Amino acid sequence: MENAVAVVGLGYIGLPTAAVLAAHGVRVIGVDVDERIVAAVNGGKVPHAEPDLELVVSGAVSTGLLTAQTEMVHADVYVIAVPTPFLADKSADLSYIDAAVDAIAPQLVGDELLILESTSPPRTTEHMAARVLAARPDLTADPADGRPVVHFAHCPERVLPGKIMTELVSNDRIIGGLTPEAATRARDLYAVFCKGELLLTDATTAEMSKLVENSFRDVNIAFANELSLICDKLGIDVWELIDLANHHPRVNILQPGPGVGGHCIAVDPWFIVEAAPEQARLIRTAREVNDGKPAYVADKVVAAVDGIETPRIAALGLAFKPDIDDLRESPAIEVVELLAERLPHARIEAVEPHVHELPARLAKLPNVTLRTWDEAVAGADVVALLVDHTQFKEADRASLNGATVIDARGAWR
């Protein structure tokens, strides 16, 4: 497929990127191994909720500029937007990137540009290039001998779920190339739709920039979460304390919660720790504080039902942040898991208005069910507010009927 961009991975970032490119006149082929996602996109539908995404996808499909398929194609540019989770030891799992690269390599003829958008540890773009050239020794990164050249760049996404379609266009982009030419060519692609500043650097610095941005936020959230632990011990309302402290003109403490979720903040700091374990001491500690918060919230719920033979617990929210359906790395799910394991005789009724079925991690637990607000809170012994969805904040709390409330978000103060 000539004069086209192939977007590999049609998830939370890949599909919006493909749709926005197509909406700006670029011929885009989306490639994904999930036949369900491919069918949805070709039908002008989207597999997950994101404001305005379906409108843009359906428009791009109707013009013929966006199509999706499961087989890799030849394209002038490949945008790789596949998952980069971490393994049990917190090291990065690059298997999805490797699989994408292995599928792309046979398609190359020379002069293509491969852009890695997946958030990755430092030097992953170099790893990607080395894997391509190992598979294709007829290609080289050195044009001096006259053979075809393949270009490699990294351009991390920097968007907020719920605002992706706006921020893809308005946010500044960091673009790092393994060569200056690769960075320039990547910049030219993003300039098609991006109104923010396009900042060029090398690939490793671009990779690190995304990790640093999310680690900065993680460290600051950890400060708030650690304050919540201290305040519980001292009998202080942490939200009142933070509100008072934030009246200082140079203080802006974030809000505590049951942990940190999402694919970015909960994952990216570990990539820095993996790259420089002896130096990343503060970043590691912040991760440990935030990773420990779900167990702390579960402890409070367990204590609240002590002495009740068959307790009923309403767990409000499963998403990793308010008013979205994204469950990735959600601390609320971990809280529910811990409660199900520690209280096998309890009835745990989860309320998540943005999904229609329990995630696989919870669906296998016999004492966890998905319920509506009315079903869950009626007769509940404990109501645990884990996600401050607008529906929960605006609900009539008189319906809680005197249940013990564990408010992990401070939304009902």
Residues 363-389 have pLDDT tens digits of 999 999 999 999 999 999 999 999 999
**What are 29's two structure tokens?**
């082929």
Which of 407, 16, 9, 86 has its CA nearest to residue 266? 86
| Amino acid 143: pLDDT | 57
- Does some domain include residue 206? no
- Does some domain include residue 412? no
pLDDT (mean) for 220-246 = 97
Average pLDDT, the chain: 94
Burial class, 98, CB count within 10 angstroms (exposed 0-12 / middle 13-18 / buried 19+): middle
Q: Above 80 in pLDDT, residue 183? A: yes
Domain of 351: which CATH number?
3.40.50.720
**What are 330's two structure tokens?**
């959600």
Task: Give CA 94 to chain center in angstroms.
Answer: 16
Distances (CA, A) of 311 to 37, 66, 250: 40, 51, 45
| Amino acid 140: pLDDT | 72
**End position of a domain, from candidates 196, 215, 242:** 196
Q: Which residues are catalytic?
A: 210, 264
Q: Above 70 in pLDDT, residue 2? A: no
Q: Look at strands 312-316 and 382-385 and give their pairing.
A: parallel
Residue 369, strand partner residues: 349
pLDDT (mean) for 9-19 = 96
| Number of residues assigned to the chain | 413
**What are 355's two structure tokens?**
């999904």
Same domain, 391 and 317: yes
Q: Above 70 in pLDDT, residue 72? A: yes
Same domain, 123 and 247: no
Q: Above 50 in pLDDT, residue 280? A: yes
| Strands (DSSP E) found in 236-358 | 312-316, 347-351
- Does some domain include residue 208? no
| Amino acid 161: pLDDT | 84
Alpha-carbon distance 205 to 187, whole Å?
16
207 or 139: which leads in pLDDT: 207
| Amino acid 141: pLDDT | 53
| Amino acid 401: pLDDT | 86
Same domain, 116 and 244: no
Same domain, 296 and 249: yes
| Amino acid 146: pLDDT | 59
pLDDT tens digits for range 109-134? 999 999 999 999 999 999 999 999 99
**What are 254's two structure tokens?**
């974030």
pLDDT (mean) for 74-97 = 94
pLDDT tens digits for range 308-360? 999 999 999 999 999 988 898 999 999 999 999 999 999 999 999 999 999 99
Alpha-carbon distance 196 to 148, whole Å?
33
Same domain, 106 and 9: yes
DSSP 104: H
- Does some domain include residue 212? no
Q: How confident is the model at residue 413 (pLDDT cuts 50, 70, 90)?
A: confident
pLDDT (mean) for 261-274 = 91
Which residue has tokens 């945008």?
Answer: 79
| Amino acid 172: pLDDT | 97
Same domain, 239 and 155: no
Same domain, 245 and 177: no
Q: Which domain holds residue 345?
A: 225-407
- % of the chain with per-residue pLDDT over 70: 97
Q: Above 70 in pLDDT, residue 287? A: yes
Q: How confident is the model at residue 147 (pLDDT cuts 50, 70, 90)?
A: low
| Amino acid 1: pLDDT | 41
- Does some domain include residue 396? yes
Which of 367, 255, 389 has its CA nearest to residue 311? 367
Which residue has tokens 């960091």?
Answer: 174
161 or 195: which leads in pLDDT: 195
Same domain, 313 and 392: yes
Amino acid at 1: M
| Amino acid 36: pLDDT | 96
Alpha-carbon distance 207 to 125, whole Å?
8
- Does some domain include residue 201? no
Alpha-carbon distance 331 to 259, whole Å?
5
Same domain, 391 and 275: yes
**Got the DSSP string for 7-70?**
EE--STTHHHHHHHHHHTT--EEEE-S-HHHHHHHHTT--SS--TTHHHHHHHHHHTTSEEEES
Same domain, 184 and 230: no
Same domain, 192 and 233: no
- Does some domain include residue 205? no
| Amino acid 142: pLDDT | 61
Burial class, 125, CB count within 10 angstroms (exposed 0-12 / middle 13-18 / buried 19+): buried
**End position of a domain, from candidates 177, 196, 215:** 196
- Does some domain include residue 330? yes
Same domain, 174 and 247: no
Task: Report how many domains make up the chain.
Answer: 2
pLDDT (mean) for 145-162 = 85
Q: Look at strands 312-316 and 198-202 and give their pairing.
A: unpaired
Which of 157, 94, 159, 161 has its CA nearest to residue 128? 94
**What are 138's two structure tokens?**
């007829």
